Structure 1
Amino acid sequence: MTFLGFAERLTAGWRDGEQPAQVDKLLLHAFLEDLRQAYRRRVWRPGDWRRTAYPVLLLDGVEVDGVGHTLVRLLTDVRNETGRNDPLLVVALATAPPPELPGTRPLREADDAYDEWAEALPETRRLRRSAAWLVALRPDDEDATPPPGVVPPALVAPDPPWWARRFLPAAVAVVLLAGMLVWADSRWTLDCHPTPTGQVRVQVLAGECVGYSDTAAQVFNSEPGQERLRAVQRRIFAQNRAAEQVWRRSDQRRPCLTLVYLGTLTGNRTRIDEESYVSEREELEGLATAQYALLKESAAADGAALLHVVVANGGRQMRHAGPAVAMLERLAHDDPTVLGVVGLVESRTSTAAALRELNRVGLPVLAPTLSADRMDGNSSLYLQISAPNSAQAAMIETYARQVLRVTEAHAYFTTGEGSSLTEDLYVGTLVDGLRQRFGSRLTRLDEWSTGRRLTAECGYRGVLVFAGRWSEFDGFLRALKECGNDPPRHLVADDSVNRYMANPGLRASAPGNLPVTYVSKAALATCAALRAAQAARDDARGSFLTWVGADDLLDPPRCRDGAGAPVGERVSLAYDAAMMMVRALESLAARLRHADTGRRWEPRSVNPVGVHAEVLRQNVAAGYPGVAGVVRYAPDSGEPVAKRLALLRVARVPDVAAEPVEVFHCGAADSGPDPGCRPV
């Protein structure tokens, strides 16, 4: 018989054929089972422990063969037959008690009767006596009627324990909420918090918002003066949405990839009117330009890839690159379109550690501006777009000897606040390169710090080399200002100074009578060079000039009407890094499409290591034709071979409107043999 069939037999009108006593016992047993469950105590539910007494059933006027008598008898039978405990205490009031009831006591002795019953309960239960579960009282004429609402003390439930009081859940909830708020405040702020939209994972570390985002719900750096940095992030995020829409409209035929930009987007000390993240902003503009160019491809170009960009912050000087990479590892695991990382900005030991972690994760790194020597030793998946510092030092020495006709040099280096020469791999390897190239002709090599005077360099006729970080270059120029009309004859600065030269606010207050020559890694991508290339029908550089001058991309548009804003040193380098990965993916996709008749692009058909290998395979023939110069690699190195470097000269640093003039260059502009170094 099924349960429903059994229940039907017990319904009114259907149970007439059953034995009434058995039906009554079943119903009473069910009632007692409900009480057992209701009064069960569970540790994880403090409310259950508020019940400190069993319920009491008061039967008044119990007499032989009456309803009360029948109920008492049934209770005794059920409890004795099942042997199970239940929380019901029965108090029977009987003037002439039935034989099943124990001896009665006067009502006024209810307290003593209860105590005797509780003491004898274990023994009477063991013997299964009929009255084991009963307390019988006898009302006498001498009993005084208690006032309304007064209950015998023995039947008054004790107070619940303090940890079961009603205030406890509220107190626990308040404490937990406060703890969660404190914990959340230590991890997130109003401008640094996770969001349910897009791919966003961030955490506050040492006051900096570290993590990644691909949506405008989380834009890095809310400091005053960094509006252009925020604007290019929003442009990238808007193009992310546009790329996704184009991919869906193409019936998911076009290959797509995600590149992560990992940079230093917070932590610099800056004035309200000072843009302190020029390099990062320019590299992001390069990625935005690559996105834009791919979005402009024909809708019928199924082989043209689409680019999705995730912006990630490793904190000041990449100090929090470790936690950022840990977050990116999870992203790469969840999203098969993540094929590489672009950026890293500064060559430091923390950056090297991040490279090792990214290599462990299996993500290739394309670094637009890193140039410390032997950075590729930290990752077998590392590709550098810029020439190493050894090439930079060699160019400076060659320029001094061949063009300036001087042999002696003085060099000063800086590493920035909170860093040392050991930690700063960029400065450390550049200083080593200058030592090797100049040898004994480097007659002075000192560390310069803010406040140190440089009057000893006044009138110096050799080459004075600034081999430090851009953040100290302004102070270095001010120290040379003391020379008045007798400045050093030849001041040459490293490529880090590009960040200073791209900052109009800093240049405006620089000494006006001191010309500066500085290293450029992208002289082929200045506005003048791009216009000349476009006139010579150079498709790659001509198209790049068209993109950066578009109305709906960069703000402001670059190289417009012969006098627009300059394109920026790092825009083309980041563009080249992104497009190298894009062309490699398109090549793999074309081969897969030829082998597979399927129409949709399957992201898991390629992997990051495979795309890195394809970049190197394509590079074997003639190198990648980058906007900032051809990029070629030796088979066993991630450093480019004969990559174009140049020296630019400004006659007056405060003259922001005047374009720098190229005076010397080394390396190849396009495919072909290395032309060496030559003046312009």
Structure 2
Amino acid sequence: MGDLSDGGPMTEQQIRPNLHASAEKHLGSGPTAEHLDQEPAPRWDFFISYASADEPWAEWVAWQLEATGLRVMLRAWYFVPGANWIDLMRQGVSKSDRVIVLLSHAYLNSIYNQTEWRVVWAADPSGEKRKLVPLRIEGCEPPELLHQLVSVDLFDVDQHTARKLLLPVAHDKREKPVTEPPFPGNNKREKPVTEPPFPSGPITLPPQTRDKLESPAPGPADPPEPPNSISGSPGRWIRRRRVQVAFVLVLALLAGAVVWLILRPTGDPACRSQGTEVSLSWIDGECVGYSARDFKFGEGGDRDTDPPSLSEVQEKIFAQNSCAEKLRDISNQRRPFVTLIYFSALTRPREAGRDWAKGSVAELTGMLTWQRHLNVIREDKGACEPNDRRERSDDLPILRVVVANGGSEMKYASEVVKRQIIPFATRRENGVLGVIGMDRSTAATEQAIRELGRKKIPVIATSLTGDGMKEFSPLYFQMAPENERQALLVAMYAIKNKKNRVSVYYPRKSGDNTADAMPDIDNRYLYTLVRDLRNEIGKTSARSVDNRSLTLDLRGWNSELTDRELQAWLRSECAKQNTDDLIFYAGWGDDFGDFLDGMENCLDKEKEGLFVLGDDSVSYYVTGNAGKDDGNVTFRYVSMGAPVALARESCSFGTLDSYYQQGKAPLASSNALREFCTRLNDMYEKTGVERPGTLWPDENIGLSYDAVKVFVDAVHTTHGEIDIDKIVRAVSQEPREGATGTRDFRVSQTSTDRQLTIIRVNRQDHDIPRPGPPGESRIDAEENDSEPCKFAIVGIQPRTVDCYGNPVEPLGG
């Protein structure tokens, strides 16, 4: 793993002085960061990167620069209607000497602008060549990677002062004085002849203290009589001695009690480290750390869940780790031995429902599917037994999976990373490629990502969507777009269906009872989702259909309500909704069942046009509760991996490939999706993992499978060389097809162009209705209850489409 073994925290310069020269080849087929220095004489001296809201600032800066003879590339002046803005952006960055970044809150909240400066930063991370010039036009905090660069503040000053601050920086002028500075040696002082005065002014004391100091001091107290003094009393001495002995004994007992409290066995006696493959700690009643064999997190806490259980899937992963060890011994290093760490919240939270671990089980199942494919041993029986198709994997790595627990809701994630994961991952012999999972967007998770980035350990988050997570590490990648894209999807879906209002239900910050109270800002996922909805719905007047625009209706509930109180409140709110509304749930999947129960009367109005839509977190709930309701409970949810869900039972049972050959495959089935479905069925058959109750696979199995595929493809690209710089470069260089769609990290670390889909389900159904084959002329999906796929958004420049790729209003018409 290159130079991972050196100790101590690393600076951003040490993280990747040349890594991102290719790793952030974000501008497609255009010049990469490492080629910026090799370009011929540029057409422009400066390219200005700015948010659309800051265009007046950008034009003012550009005008000042051009007035001094400099050449400036500005979107407002060159990006005319009909121009390909991505192409022009490539040219602007690659053919400019330097890039000015106008830092503002709008800029930092934008997905697209940050691509421009990141490519240039990668070519000059230390700032030595001054390729990147940050100008703050608002009092905002620069991104972490820009902290080391000196920025200039243009806000809160007049125009003349701003010009004086701007032009020396633009012309790269040094602050050299006009005249020669005086020689510092002439200021040498001679040693004084007399003692210097004490370097302190007169001390002023409070009157009470001054009075005490000025009053006569009392005489010295009489010294105590020695024990053998003739005038002393032997009885008094003996009593003193007894008191001293008793005091010493009490201290000894207290010290012993403290030592016993520290060393006594606590918690689960199984929570003990076992060599380098199992490292565990007991913290506040939770067993956290990592395990590659034997110890299973959550064991005993998930016995009432539906199959497969968290304990069962870990057991199968550890069996595959044994296969990996055998293969390493017999392969004679022909195949690289690699390790991926799955990191999630694997302690059952208090008052959690029965399906608290469903998400982790699905993600581990995706990783197990890859292990089962990669760790086959010919002529072996049992866990390592070849499948019937004899798929060859001789040119692919051998895979070990380490399972790590960051505690309930990831509250100990940072501690586990620093104390356990980093020491394990930075040992070259362990072959760690990176970390997958990460669970919730909490402050502890953010710090964990930052710590991993400092040690050059890549992270691929399977389901995180909170805005701005990429700012914590240049080696952080996300399988799903940020919340800004989901908010746009919701707004466009409401406009497409001619709604007037979007009512957003979410848990508001505890203690804040104001009408527009937001979620807790420490909950990055919910806070940024509600904030982005507010922003996107506010822009809808420019994207209206039939001259419609939307209003936002924030309905935050008190997060301290009991389940019964919450349902009562939801029933009262439901009575205020009408068919011109779109009801959007922005919460955690754990609470979605209570939300549906409280919204029962609104769900009954679907035929009248009242839609209930859940955010992307409810996919766990959907697969965990399908077929468990006798009533007709229909709703919609945002899917991040729709191809896997819409492949239905033909994926779970491995028949998708035959359907495809017969021309009966649902929607457009990619090679990667058919390959995934075949391997998933093989995993169930050969490992004995019990299939879940739903007939269609959980989309999070597919997202996790695709995250592993990112690393496997990268190792294949490097011809088996486990060098993190090269691995990350391979991850970032070209798009790859996956089971859940194509992922492309060239433009963004957060899969900005990935498709998000709205799917309609009925809680009483064990399977999703079968969509028709691709290419079929179809009526509007909203008018066809047998069509589960309703609406989608895709592309760097967002387009709204149906699930067959046909453009639909408002952004595809």
TM-score, length-scaled by structure 1: 0.64
Residue 503 of structure 1 deviates from its aligned partner by 2.0
Name the structure 2 match of 1:362: 456
Alpha-carbon distance in 1 for matches of 2:700, 2:508: 21
Pick one of 409, 413, 426 that aligns with 1:317: 409
* Cα 1:564–1:492 shift into 2, 3 Å: closer
Q: Specify which of 726, 730, 733 is matched with residue 610 of structure 1.
A: 726
Q: Which residue of 2 aligns with 1:338?
A: 432
Deviations 1:439-468 (A, max 9, x none): 272331121244224423335211011111
Deviation, 1:312, is 0.2
Query: Contact conserved, 1:256 with 1:307, CA < 8 A, in 2?
Result: yes
In structure 2, the partner of 1:430 is 529
Measure, in 2, the Cα distance between the counterparts of 1:625 and 1:483.
39
Contact 2:270/2:295, CA 8 A, preserved across alignment = no
Distance 1:377 1:271, change over 3 A: closer
| Residue 66 of structure 1: aligned partner | none
1:533-572 map, 5 Å: 535-536=659-660, 538-550=670-682, 551-553=685-687, 555-557=689-691, 565-572=695-702
Residues 397 and 324 of structure 1: is their aligned pair in 2 closer, same or farther, counting only changes over 3 Å? same
Alpha-carbon spacing, 1:609–1:325, altered in 2? closer, same or farther (3 Å):
farther
For the residues of structure 2 that align with 1:634 and 1:281, how far apart are their CA atoms?
Answer: 30
Of 242, 261, 267, the match for 2:342: 261
Partners of 2:789 and 2:639 in 1: CA distance: 9
In 2 relative to 1, CA 332–437 (structure 1 residues): closer, same or farther, beyond 3 Å?
same
The SS at the match of 1:354 is: helix
Contact kept? 1:395, 1:677, Cα under 8 Å: no
- State whether residues 364 and 612 of structure 1, in contact with CA within 8 Å, keep that contact through their aligned partners in structure 2: yes
Distance 1:484 1:541 in 2: 33
Post-superposition offset of 1:307:
0.9
Q: Please give the per-residue CA displacement for 1:597-635, whole angstroms capped at 9, x wherever unaligned.
A: xxxxxxxxx333431122112x2xxx1111100001244
Secondary structure, in 3 states, of the residue corresponding to 1:610? helix
Per-residue Cα deviation, 1:295-336 (whole angstroms, up to 9, x for no partner): 248898653111111000001221100111011111123344
User: 1:270, 1:276 within 8 Å by CA — same for their partners in 2?
Assistant: no
Q: CA deviation at 1:519?
A: 0.6
**In the alignment, structure 1 residue 653 sits paired with structure 2 residue 769:** no
Question: SS of the counterpart of 1:287?
Answer: helix
Q: In 2, distance between residues paired with 1:469 and 1:328?
A: 27
Residue 203 and residue 640 in structure 1: after superposition, are their counterparts in 2 closer, same or farther (change >3 A)? same
**Deviation of 1:205 (Å):** 1.3
Larger RCO (CA under 8 A, 6+ residues apart): 2
Residues in 2 aligned to 1:242 and 1:386: alpha-carbon distance in whole angstroms:
32
Amino acid at match of 2:572: T
Secondary structure of the structure 2 residue equivalent to 1:641: coil
Judging changes above 3 Å, is the alpha-carbon distance between structure 1 residues 357 and 534 closer, same or farther for their aligned structure 2 residues?
Answer: farther
Letter in 2 for 1:539: N
1:407–1:577 Cα change, 3 Å: same
CA distance in structure 2 between the partners assigned to 1:586 and 1:305 by the alignment: 8
* 1:579 aligned onto 2:709: yes
- 2:801 is aligned to 677
Whether the 8 Å CA contact 1:369–1:385 is kept in 2: the answer is: yes
Distance change in 2, residues 1:379/1:567 (3 Å): same
Distance 1:187 1:611, change over 3 A: farther
Q: Give 1:381's aligned residue.
A: 475
Structure 1: gaps spanning 5 or more residues: 1-171, 593-605
CA contact (8 A) 2:310 2:361 kept: yes
For residues 137-186 of structure 1, the C-alpha deviation after alignment (integer angstroms, 9 at most, x for no partner) is: xxxxxxxxxxxxxxxxxxxxxxxxxxxxxxxxxxx9x9999877643557
Q: Does the aligned pair in 2 maintain the 1:416–1:472 contact within 8 Å?
A: no
For residues 149-164 of structure 1, what are the structure 2 equivalents within 5 Å? none
How much identity, in percent, do the aligned residues show? 26
Say which one has the larger Rg: 1
- Work out the CA distance in 2 between the residues paired with 1:422 and 1:186: 38
Matches within 5 A, 1:445-460: 445-449=554-558, 450=561, 451=565, 452-458=569-575, 459-460=577-578
Distance 1:179 1:564 in 2: 53
Aligned equivalents of 2:731 and 2:260: distance in 1?
47
Secondary structure of 1:474's match? helix
Question: 2:370 aligned with 1:290, yes or no?
Answer: yes
| TM-fit CA distance, 1:674 | 7.7
Q: Which runs of 5 or more structure 2 residues have no equivalent in the other structure?
A: 1-251, 380-391, 512-517, 539-548, 662-669, 771-787, 805-813
1:664 aligns with 2:791: yes
Match in the other structure for 2:498? 405
Deviations 1:391-432 (A, max 9, x none): 111112222222x22132111112799995201111111112
> 1:640 aligned to 2:751?
yes
Q: Secondary structure at the match of 1:567?
A: coil
Given the alignment of the two structures, is residue 589 of structure 1 paired with residue 723 of structure 2, yes or no?
Answer: no
1:241 aligned residue:
322
SS in 2 for 1:370: coil
Task: Give the distance between the partners of 1:268 and 1:565, measured in 2 at CA.
Answer: 28
1:539 Cα deviation after fit: 3.3
Segment of structure 1 superposing worse, 538-547 or 362-371: 538-547
Distance 1:374 1:340, change over 3 A: same
**Are the aligned partners of 2:292 and 2:401 in contact in 1 as well (CA < 8 Å)?**
yes
Tell me: CA distance 1:271–1:470, structure 2 relative to 1, closer, same or farther (3 Å).
closer
Residues 176, 199 of structure 1: alpha-carbon distance in 2 compared, 3 angstrom cutoff? farther
Q: Which amino acid is 2:400 matched to?
A: H
- 1:230 paired with 2:311, answer yes
2:399 matched to which residue of 1?
Answer: 307
The whole-number CA distance in structure 2 between the counterparts of 1:302 and 1:428 is 46
Alignment correspondent of 2:590? 471
Q: CA deviation at 1:512?
A: 3.3
Structure 2 letter corresponding to 1:374: G
**Cα deviation, residue 508, structure 1:** 3.5
User: Within 1, Cα distance between the matches of 2:622 and 2:510?
Assistant: 20
The C-alpha deviation readout for 1:10-31, integer Å capped at 9, x for no partner, is xxxxxxxxxxxxxxxxxxxxxx
Q: Output the CA distance in 1 between the equivalents of 2:451 and 2:507.
A: 28
* Structure 2 length-normalised TM: 0.54
Letter in 2 for 1:309: V
Shift of 1:248: 1.3
- Quote the Cα distance in structure 2 between the aligned partners of 1:579 and 1:205: 34
Q: Secondary structure in 2 aligned to 1:260?
A: strand
2:686 alignment partner, SS class: coil
The separation in 1 between residues aligned to 2:508 and 2:323, in whole angstroms, is 41
Where does 1:262-281 land on structure 2 (aligned, <5 Å)?
262-269=343-350, 274-281=354-361
Query: Aligned partners of 1:498 and 1:247: how far apart in 2?
Result: 37
Q: Distance in 2 between matches of 1:263 and 1:499?
A: 15
1:228-250 CA distance string (max 9 Å, x none): 11111111111011011012111
Residue 349 of structure 1: how far off its partner (Å): 2.3
Does the CA contact (< 8 Å) of 1:473 and 1:497 recur in 2? yes
- Residue 199 of structure 1 is matched in structure 2 by 277
**Alpha-carbon spacing, 1:653–1:359, altered in 2? closer, same or farther (3 Å):** same
Residue 187 (structure 1) shift: 6.0
1:498 matches 2:628: no
Which AA in structure 2 matches 1:249?
I
- In structure 2, relative to structure 1, the CA distance for the partners of 1:616 and 1:658 (3 Å cut) is closer
Q: Which shifted more, 540-549 or 440-449?
A: 440-449
CA RMSD of aligned residues (A): 3.4
Distance verdict in 2 for CA 1:648–1:540, change over 3 Å: same
Residues 429 and 568 (structure 1 numbering): CA distance in 2 closer, same or farther, change over 3 Å? same
